[in-house]
Chain A
Amino acid sequence: MRVLIVEDYAPIRNAITQGLREAGFAVDAAEDGSQGLWYAESSDYDLIVLDLMLPKIDGLTILKKLRADGRRMCILILTAKDQLEDSVSGLNLGADDYLVKPFAFDELLARVRTLVRRRYDLRNPMIRVADLEIDTNARTAKRDGRSIELTAREYALLEYLATRAGQVVTRTDIWEHVYDFDSDSQSNVVDVYVGYLRKKLEAAHLPKLIHTRRGQGYVLGELP
């Protein structure tokens, strides 16, 4: 899942970026309002963590612009002002949640996970696809009751495919939601990682779970 952080104060921006990356998110960070808006408009983020007081363009203006353009990503507002009116106007303008600085990182992480699940209409942190079971909180996967050892990137890819189980997911979708700007941008990186994942999922001669649709992308799930 891909998250954009728009925060001008470097210590907060760097800490959240590192924390969310370590929690398995693909994270991009912008240090002012105009960079943030440009990032948000150029990629399909699952969630934006948005500070309100920003240089160049303020957070509420970015929020208004994104919602006016019909973008559906979740938006979590960060504000140092604890005045209710800022948060209320943020929520009224289409933000999904807000946090007042200083906050506990665990709380931010929990809210980010909840919002991302909501983005894909998932209520349950456990995702089940056939005999595959994914615990999005613990970030573990089991198939046929046996746990599968995955790297962070493989897990992120699996989770994304699982949230869209049964649908064709294009390489671009995967690229947009699983990789951030800092990722290795070789053209076949998606195919390589899908290959790794397939090997691990289909070890022990289990039935195929990731199917290739030539010229389109991949589908996770049992074939009907």
Chain B
Amino acid sequence: MTRSVQSRLLLGIAVGSAIVLLSAGLVFYGLIRAALIAEFDASFTVEARTLAALVETEDGLIQSEMSERGMERFERKDRPEYYQLWRHDGTVIERSSRLSPRNLNCIAGPFDRPRLRFARLPDGRPGRTIGVTFTPHQEGQADRDPDHAARLSAKLAPLPVTLVVGRDTIDLDRTLARIKRLLLGVFGGAVLLSLLVTAPIVYLGLRPLRATSARIAVIDSQSLDLRLDSTDVPAEVRSVIDCLNGLLDRLDQAFQRERAFSANVAHELRTPLAGLRSTIEVTLSKPRDPTAYQHVLANCLEICKQTQWIVENLLLLARIDSGQCELRRTPVRLDELIHQAWAPLAERAESRGLNVTWITCNRTIVNTDREKLRMILHNLYDNAVTYADPGSTIEIAASSSEETAGISISNAGSSLSPQDVQHVFDRFWRGDRSRGETGQHAGLGLPLCKELARLLGAEVFATTENSSRFRVWVKLPRT
């Protein structure tokens, strides 16, 4: 899913401020709730203790004044409070009249420390209950006769009782709900406000990015020399512009190479066509004897062969470039192949008076694509035979180690400088820059060797010795 940076930033700001505000709201709500419950509990505890003070024993009998007093809050019809009093053995001493016959949960706690709990009241209202366990005091005795009291307490030690009071929390819940609503309203408003404030800031902040994209939009394949100006732009955008300018540099170079390549292809194909056309037109301009026609046709055939060679090599290069060339590796006897590949060139070498010195190893087997290695050798031999000084010696050597096999082909008669040698594998490059020679030496043979070698996992490189002997090395993996 694509989304604009602006909407991403705004969404981020909205989510971020929502998280911050929500956390603050939750903390705030928690504190208020705790404070309100503490306040509720404080008054509830006071009430429970007051009620507990109304329970006393008289001659071993537990008596409560709660019902006698008819307290309004236990008697009212609307939202009454409940109480219930237990003996320590679990029997009920007394309960508020509105509770009867239902029970509150008996929550016995340690002496003098009331226990508070949220619990649903028997009538279903949400509420809070408090349990107080205490020993009722003996009525009157202590005041009248301390001795009697001491006696009685020794003989009839009063047993602890548990008083549980229940009160609804409807008011408390209502207050908390109101606070919750208020906080939610503030939260929503704050998120909205932060979006309203930040939207124009984000819009302005992204202006350099929009300006850059507008400048990029005008660049097409015809204007790859344009570069984006990175002055007066923010640092973040500048790094993007620098990267883009780098990319444009590489693209521009690639396009220039491509254009030069197309121009070279056009030249290499037009020239033989022009040759064919001129030859045929001149021949047809008047009647000639049969031998003249034979001669012309032989010439035309030669031009066709050369053109075919160029076209096939261009196609092969294109296939290699696009990764459509398959490898068929088989075990190949290197010394045999080196000699076999020479056969088609032997006649031409002889006609130029060239000698060949062979320095080959015996029975070296390499696991490679036989046909492609043969093509590499053929092109290298062809190059050597073409450019060697007439009557000179071509040296063909092969060697091998555990992992690699090496082949070197050298010929006398190189006028290439060490700088020129760097370019011999460039497509359409010729030693003589102004050279327009067409045909078998269109500057495609060595580049093709390089690409074929790359396909075989081999390396190929050239050296010139004293600028007079040109040597090409092929380093081939044996497996």
Contact = CB atoms under 8 A, between A and B. Distances in A.
A188 interface: no
A217 interface: no
7 contacts: A12-B278, A18-B282, A55-B434, A80-B436, A81-B263, A82-B270, A105-B281
Contacts of B17: none
B434 A11 contact: no
Nearest to B263: A81
Contact of A16 (B276, B278, B438, B439): B278
A33 B434 contact: yes
Contact of B286 (A22, A57, A59, A82): A22
Given A53-B435, A55-B436, A81 B267 contact: yes
Contacts of B285: 19, 22, 105
B277 A9 contact: no
A9 B437 contact: yes
A208 B229 CA distance: 82
A80 B270 contact: yes
Given A11-B276, A81-B263, A54 B435 contact: yes
Interface of A: 8-12, 14-16, 18-19, 22, 33, 51-59, 61, 80-83, 101-106, 108
A216 B393 CA distance: 57
B185 to A, nearest CB: 74
B275 A57 contact: no
Interface residues of B, number: 28
Given A12-B275, A53-B436, A58-B434, A104 B263 contact: no
Contact of B437 (A8, A81, A83): A8
A9 B436 CA distance: 8
B271 to A, nearest CB: 5
B435 A9 contact: no
Interface in B420-441: 432-439
The 7 closest A-B pairs by CB, nearest first: A53-B436, A11-B275, A58-B434, A102-B274, A101-B274, A15-B278, A19-B282
B218 interface: no
Interface of B: 263, 266-267, 270-279, 281-283, 285-286, 299, 303, 432-439
A76 B187 CA distance: 87
B434 A15 contact: no
B436 A11 contact: no
Nearest to A106: B281
A95 B273 CA distance: 24
A168 B435 CA distance: 43
A139 to B, nearest CB: 13
Contact of A8 (B273, B279, B282, B436): B436
Contacts of B281: 15, 19, 104-106
A157 to B, nearest CB: 22
Nearest to B292: A18
A167 B272 CA distance: 44
B286 A56 contact: no
B278 A105 contact: yes
A101 B270 contact: yes
A61 B435 CA distance: 13
Given A15-B279, A18-B282, A101 B434 contact: no
A104 B277 contact: yes
Most B-side CB within 10 Å, residue of A33, A53, A57, A82: A53
B63 to A, nearest CB: 123
A141 to B, nearest CB: 20
B448 to A, nearest CB: 21
Contacts of A83: 263
Contacts of B278: 11-12, 15-16, 19, 102-103, 105, 108
Contact of B271 (A9, A15, A104): A9
A108 B278 CA distance: 10
Nearest to A20: B282
A11 B296 CA distance: 10
A203 B88 CA distance: 169
Most B-side CB within 10 Å, residue of A15, A82, A103, A106: A15
